[in-house]
Structure 1
């Protein structure tokens, strides 16, 4: 069966300086409709300046999407928030033909013995995470066990925040093109962004610092956060453990604004109640399970955007049924920037 796919030419903005307060948005979409046959190839188009990025996007129910866009636009930016997964949603799936690393997977704690122990845990628990034969209650306990053991190894192995900085510097990780512009656009309109991750908040912040070279006042991270002593050594973790099966807005009390530097003490988590009142949601994820990130929010309208990076043909049908919009093949973020500009 073939699905109707819109191939959209999205021109990269001419001004993409991250620190610029003057954001140049991509021009309006130029739709081209085609029917894929077997393979899904990026279509490249050139504008007058020879600068453009092409992507493929699938909309399962165009009429429903149009209604949701109209509803969110009618509510205005003051009722809107963005909930986004980090690994392989904000970051690229592949870099120069090689798989990009996750925020958890890039960590090298400077102790080969403990790095090997964490890898052994991964090899044991990761297949269990995706096993269809394990009931969700049992699987949740297994994930709590996995995360608990991993965090204990990080403490026991003497992880330092210098090791985090070096790990990020050496990592194969990069943001999708357009992420910085998306965050700037939302920041200028005081639209909150919640980054949900079952990884480590301190690593995510360091990736933002090293790859985007700035922080954003409207961005909060819902993830596992570390506590360091005066010597920069990891001594504990704060609050509840967030793993792959409880990564949702029930954990909003874990949300914290971006820190200026690694190891900053947490300030008060204010405005979380106001975030819950923002009942129009744009949700971005690369896994169907990411749709649960908004479970704790009594939202009025939600537009869900899925990034299908791998195994496209086998997964396309389930993603089409689950997400309002599906971007294929590790596409840049320009389409989401354009969508947000329409919503605002």
Structure 2
């Protein structure tokens, strides 16, 4: 039994398109042969590293943590979450519509994120409140994520986190880099703007770290494990040159047969309704 057959045997969440099985087995074998010194990892944050539900209760994304907190209000005294929910109801179905291509979705995503960011900047959110809101939230990492990241860092494997939302977690390790929409604060801790470059589902990629020493170090690591949960996440390695072996792992949350077929065409390995990092950890352990 080969490595891929072991994965399929051990975990019922694993799905691979029949036409891709040989490619996936060969890619994993190449990653193993080249060892970790040639590897870097590119990962989305929300609902890839984090859980999307627990005990049947939906868990929030980083933006939803802020938007859904009753301490965050707009200048007229109304809760930010009321308008944020209206935006989400309008735009989220578009983001997850598998019948639309990236070009069709793009203008809607840009419109959504600009409106959402404007709401947050106009609110009473300050740096202290942001810290408290995030750390008191129900957002939770998938089981095994901490082990995965720790293993990467102990092996000097470079990791890039690309996130369209607001990562309020420690990322100061020299081997990790975060691309995201960061809130900028004034000297008094008041939120005044977002970072100039808008990062959204369909433009978060390694192009954003060009012309940095970090990017130069990645050039010596042409093998990639990509981890995402939306169809747009496969574009996270856009702009990266000299790639050799790429393994794309996609988390399909709230799976349906129709969505699964689309995801199997886009990702090499699809993990359906999987709240763990068991498969990424098994693959990393083999490398």
Which bin holds the TM-score, normalised by the shorter protein? 0.7 to 0.9
Q: Is the 8 A contact 1:93 1:330 kept in 2?
A: no
CA distance in 2: counterparts of 1:137 and 1:58, whole angstroms = 27
Match of 2:248 in 1: 304
Q: Is the 8 A contact 1:183 1:216 kept in 2?
A: no
* Deviation >6 Å, runs of 4+: 132-135
Instruction: Please tell me whether residue 236 in structure 1 is matched to residue 236 in structure 2.
Output: no
Q: Is the 8 A contact 2:181 2:194 kept in 1?
A: yes
Structure number with the bigger relative contact order (C-alpha 8 A, sep ≥ 6) is 2
Q: Which residue of the other structure, out of 268, 271, 274, is the alignment partner of 1:327?
A: 271
Find the residue that maps to 1:271 and give its secondary structure.
helix
**Gap change, CA 1:76 and 1:30, over 3 Å in 2:** closer
Matches within 5 A, 1:208-227: 216-227=173-184
* TM-score normalised according to structure 2 size: 0.84
**Gap change, CA 1:125 and 1:30, over 3 Å in 2:** closer
CA distance in 2: counterparts of 1:7 and 1:275, whole angstroms = 27
Match of 2:226 in 1: 283
CA distance in 2: counterparts of 1:318 and 1:31, whole angstroms = 19
**Gap change, CA 1:132 and 1:291, over 3 Å in 2:** closer
**Gap change, CA 1:150 and 1:311, over 3 Å in 2:** same
Find the residue that maps to 1:176 and give its secondary structure.
coil
CA distance in 2: counterparts of 1:276 and 1:167, whole angstroms = 37
Instruction: Please tell me whether residue 340 in structure 1 is matched to residue 284 in structure 2.
Output: yes
Find the residue that maps to 2:270 and give its secondary structure.
strand
Q: Which residue of the other structure, out of 119, 144, 148, is the alignment partner of 1:182?
A: 148
In terms of Rg, which structure is larger? 1
Instruction: Please tell me whether residue 193 in structure 1 is matched to residue 159 in structure 2.
Output: yes
Match of 1:153 in 2: 119
Match of 1:87 in 2: 46
Find the residue that maps to 2:139 and give its secondary structure.
coil
The alignment yields a C-alpha RMSD, in angstroms, of 2.8
List per-residue Cα deviations over 1:225-279 (Å, max 9, x = no partner): 111122211112223110122122222259xxxxxxxxxxxxxx53222224421
* TM-score normalised according to structure 1 size: 0.71
Q: Is the 8 A contact 1:55 1:331 kept in 2?
A: no
Match of 1:271 in 2: 214
Find the residue that maps to 1:199 and give its secondary structure.
coil
| Structure with greater proportional helix content | 2
Q: Is the 8 A contact 1:104 1:200 kept in 2?
A: yes
**Number of residue-to-residue matches in the alignment:** 275
Match of 2:72 in 1: 110
Structure 2: stretches of 5+ with no match in the other structure? none
Question: How far does residue 138 in structure 1 lie from its aligned partner after superposition?
Answer: 5.8
Find the residue that maps to 1:118 and give its secondary structure.
helix
CA distance in 2: counterparts of 1:330 and 1:161, whole angstroms = 33
